[in-house]
Copies of this chain bind each other. A is one copy, B any other.
Amino acid sequence: MSLTDSQREEIEAARAATAPTRRATVPALEALLFAPVPLLDHGFVRVIDYMGDDAAVVQAARVSYGRGTRKVSEDAGLIRYLMRHHHTTPFEMCEIKFHVKLPIFVARQWIRHRTANVNEYSARYSILDREFYIPAPEHLALQSTTNRQGRGAVLEGDAAAAVLALLRSDAARSHDDYTTLLETHGLARELARINLTLNSYTQWYWKSDLYNLLHFLALRSDAHAQYEIRVYAEAMLAMAQAWVPQTVAAFRDYRLGAVTFSAGMLAVLRRMLAGESVAQEGSGLSKREWAEMMAALGRGG
């Protein structure tokens, strides 16, 4: 992550200024505010603003007149109840806004979450910096042989060097020629940018309510998500943890660490609990479902 001096100064100035407010305030998140967390080779995520806290979830669920005098443990219990029973609207009452710098191919996955508000840096209007994502050697993965959209073993040695060289030279040449198109030929910006590679960095402001943020984090911090978006989800989950710790604790229990068993899996489970020895063949489950179920139960299968 490389910031210019004036960008650093703007961030420091924003961090230095405080004002009194009557609004719900979360010191642990205030401490993180505006500071960029570096991700990948040139990316970052930083919190720009937030609204509400764990108590705001509770107040909305109760349609309260004030903060109330309930105990913290009662609030935590209600939050757990709301999360367990999928009462989603109280979690929509908190809001958070991020500034994110990310490769375009990551942005293309991210933007599919339609409930957020987004302002992206415009390459029709402005010129993109000469920054593109090159994977670290340990993330240079082969195509998975078992999963058509997954990664397998890590590439090593000469092959890895060859791959990195290709990625570097193509991105660099495309950006050099982008500059030539703009500066030498005066081509319209909206046309010149079409020459850039998908690992070029873009940036945006991205704002979401807490419920939809958690939905995003559940999908994108998952082991099946592409590594390059997962690192963003993980950094944002840590920020959410600082912001709404009770909500995130319930989220870890009832979403991240939870498993859904289908009607067919439940039937198998009941037989197993009754002491029956069940094998995939007689289970009524496909091989893949059986493997997923055994993995969830921590069994070899």
Residue of B nearest to A180 (CB): B166
Given that A93-B97, A261-B259 are known contacts, is A189 also in contact with B253, CB under 8 Å in the complex?
Answer: no
Chain A residues numbered 97-115 whose CB sits less than 8 Å from any CB in chain B: 97, 99, 103-105, 107-108, 111-112, 114-115
- Residues of the B chain whose Cβ atoms lie less than 8 Å from the Cβ of A269: 269, 297
- Residues of the B chain whose Cβ atoms lie less than 8 Å from the Cβ of A24: 49
Given that A20-B19, A149-B124 are known contacts, is A203 also in contact with B103, CB under 8 Å in the complex?
Answer: no
Flag if B141 contacts A188 (CB, 8 Å).
yes
Residue of B nearest to A115 (CB): B114
- Looking at chain A's contact residues, is the secondary structure mostly helix, strand, loop, or mixed? mixed
A191 to chain B, nearest CB (A): 6
Flag if B272 contacts A63 (CB, 8 Å).
no
Flag if A191 contacts B298 (CB, 8 Å).
no
> A25 near B: Cβ within 8 Å?
yes
Flag if A182 contacts B143 (CB, 8 Å).
yes
Flag if B68 contacts A10 (CB, 8 Å).
yes
> A171 near B: Cβ within 8 Å?
yes
> A239 near B: Cβ within 8 Å?
no
Cα distance A148–B209 when bound, in Å? 28
Cα distance A123–B270 when bound, in Å? 38
Flag if A18 contacts B10 (CB, 8 Å).
no
Residue of B nearest to A160 (CB): B185
A-B contact pairs, 13 of them (CB 8 A): A7-B65, A63-B119, A63-B121, A142-B188, A143-B189, A149-B189, A166-B181, A167-B181, A195-B198, A252-B263, A254-B263, A258-B265, A266-B297
On A, residues with C-beta under 8 Å from B are 3, 6-7, 9-11, 13-15, 17-25, 30, 33-34, 48-52, 56, 59-61, 63-68, 84, 86, 89-90, 92-93, 95, 97, 99, 103-105, 107-108, 111-112, 114-115, 117-122, 124-125, 133, 135, 140-144, 148-152, 155, 159, 162-163, 166-167, 170-171, 173-174, 177, 180-182, 185-191, 193-200, 203-205, 207, 209, 219, 226, 252-254, 256-266, 269-270, 272-273, 289, 296-299
Closest 5 CB pairs of A and B: A10-B66, A257-B263, A92-B117, A51-B51, A194-B199
